[in-house]
Structure 1
Amino acid sequence: MQWIAVALALSSAVCLALGTQTQSVAVTGHTEGPLTPRGLWPLVRNLRWLSGLALLGLGTVLNVAALSLATVTVVQPIGVIALVITTLLHARHRHLIINRGTWLAVALCSVGGATFVVCAVIGTDPTHVPGTRAENTVVALLVGLVVLIGVCELFVRRHRISMFYVLGAGLLYGFVAVLVRLTATTITSSGFGDIRWTSVLMIVVAAALGGWMVQCAYSCGPPDLVIAGLTVVDPMVGVALGLVVLGEAGDFFTGALGTAMGLAGLVAIVGVVVLSRHHPEVLQRRAAARAQQDAVTSGAVADTATPRRTERATDR
């Protein structure tokens, strides 16, 4: 069964990578500048975008199936392969040369993320059942996060900050994963009658906003940065909520293990930051923006100097 789970997890990583790359190409090919809600409608009718969505859905189903056959320790670290695959696919599509900074970032994300997940599995108690108060706390925190991200998005949209969208989507999906798990646990133990519909509503709202953030991230950054952010931030948020809010810390969770988790998480986050600064596509966009700004500045200087020359000629 374990080898079947590994095969399913590998297939899931491939589907997630292909789906991310496909959707990214669709978004960048049909939008100029920041993605707007009006620009989302043509994407919904785009066959390539829909194909990417189908691949992402298939990848999610395969990952769930893998988790049902093996432990998180075996399955979850395999997901970082999606980052490597996406980086290679995107570099080939854009004819980019992957630099050392990008490879270093991929290594940091992979090692840090995998170590964090392994430490989390060792330190958490899978048999712990959170109470109603804990779930309500998660819902309240998610409501505040949705409002905060929604307000910030209105101000950040024109600046095309890819890290904002990547981190925002990762935070939202981390909350969604926790609420989905809590809802599934409730259905398994008590049936549909005890479902907390506020949790279901926030799952839908956060998932929709997270999907929007991902599409915006496609329009202003490389797809491998999106995958890196989601594979790093999403599980970290879920584990942090489980330990701090839901009380899932087990007997093996010690100060040393917590320190190891913190260091691993820091390494992974540094990897995401390095990728956002040294990815070859990011460097190209930065150089193009500087060239455009220099051209605008030169034009402004030339326009300012022209009237002076005209006045001197008139005086003569």
Structure 2
Amino acid sequence: MGIAILCALAGAVLSAVGAALQHAGVRDVGDLTVRRFTRLAGNRRWLLGFAVLFVAAVLQIVALAMAPVTVVAPLAVMSLPIIAAIGVRHVTRGFAVAVMAATGGVATFVAIAARTAVTTDVEPATVLRAGQVVAAVVCAFVVVGALRSGTARALALAAGAGAAYGLVAVLVRDVTTSLPSLPWVSFTGLALAFLVGAALIQLGYASGPADLVVAGQTVVNPIVAAWIGMVLLDETQGAGRGTVIALVTSAAVSLTGIAAIARFHRRRLASSPADCATTPP
């Protein structure tokens, strides 16, 4: 468990760095549309970000192979304070409190879940059910993103990506623990969910600041993964009512922090649009 948590934390740090690089690459390309996705392959900063994120993904896979999804997945939100420090030049007290709320809520969630979560098998029927629920959630966020613009669009797309990545975390655990045999349902769902999430992240970068996109993705991701782990996989089957209430409360604190971060960026955009478009170093 300890090694898994260390790998997940290292992956979170690299995820923040990779996200900042990819955000800069997307801003270099300009107004990103589906037809212009190929231009990203020629951008050095975007490619470097991709390489960093690949290493982060490997560390996450190692962590998921050794510990329950309910424990590992929420640690991704630890990338939030790092990306905030990289991308926001003038940090207000309110913004700092929002970041701490989003990060601290998930840290509390992990601390509680680590004491009660147990590893369970992932059945094909569970994979299909989880896929259906997550697909509906992703579609809802995409519709919201299509109807909005600016930071609201970025946050909606990031949340959709987070939901897709939450499913990825569960399917990665199933695939890695099933080797050398390969569960094709999980593998196919993993590839599809990953591609959808990656595309939504890039579109989110084109619409808003990197820290907002990372915030939306890294908070929704563990909440979806933890919901699957707790409800569908029954990883917290030994948890009492008080533990469940504490888990839900900590998740709510994180979501409140994300809402405050989004509000901060809306105000910053209203006061200085050019500042919001500034690319992180």
Q: Normalization by structure 2: what TM-score? A: 0.84
Question: RMSD across aligned C-alpha pairs, in angstroms?
Answer: 2.9
Pick aligned residue for 1:43 from 40, 43, 57: 40
Q: Distance in 1 between matches of 2:172 and 2:149?
A: 29
**What corresponds to 1:87 in structure 2?**
84
* Pairing 1:27-176 to 2, within 5 Å after superposition: 27-32=26-31, 35-65=32-62, 79-91=76-88, 96-126=89-119, 128-156=120-148, 161-176=153-168
Residues 140/63 of structure 1: CA separation in 2 closer, same or farther (3 Å cut):
closer
Could you report, residue by residue, the CA deviation over 1:71-95 in whole angstroms, capped at 9, with x for unpaired residues?
889977765442222112213xxxx
Change beyond 3 A, Cα 1:68–1:154:
closer
Cα contact 1:111–1:268 (8 A) shared by 2: yes
Which of the residues 200, 224, 227 maps onto 1:237? 224
What residue ranges of structure 1 are gaps of 5+ in the alignment?
Answer: 290-316
What SS does the corresponding residue of 2:91 show, helix, strand or coil?
coil
The normalised TM-score by structure 1 is: 0.75
SS of residue matched to 1:161: helix
Q: Distance in 2 between matches of 1:248 and 1:77?
A: 14
Counterpart position of 1:228: 215
Larger Rg, first or second structure (1 or 2):
1
Q: Distance in 2 between matches of 1:24 and 1:269?
A: 23
Question: Is 1:187 aligned to 2:179, yes or no?
Answer: yes
Which residue number in structure 1 is paired with residue 184 of structure 2?
A: 196
Q: Distance in 2 between matches of 1:267 and 1:26?
A: 32
Q: CA deviation at 1:117?
A: 1.7
Give the distance between the partners of 1:246 and 1:77, measured in 2 at CA: 16
Distance 1:63 1:132 in 2: 22
- Identity of aligned pairs, percent? 31
| 2:252 maps to 1:266 | yes
* Aligned residue type for 1:18: V
Q: Which range moved further: 7-16 or 41-50? A: 7-16
Aligned partner of 1:205 among 192, 195, 198: 192
Aligned pair count?
273
Partner letter of residue 176 of structure 2?
Answer: A
Equivalent-residue separation in structure 1 for 2:160 and 2:70 (angstroms): 26
Structure 2: 5+ residue stretches without partners:
274-281
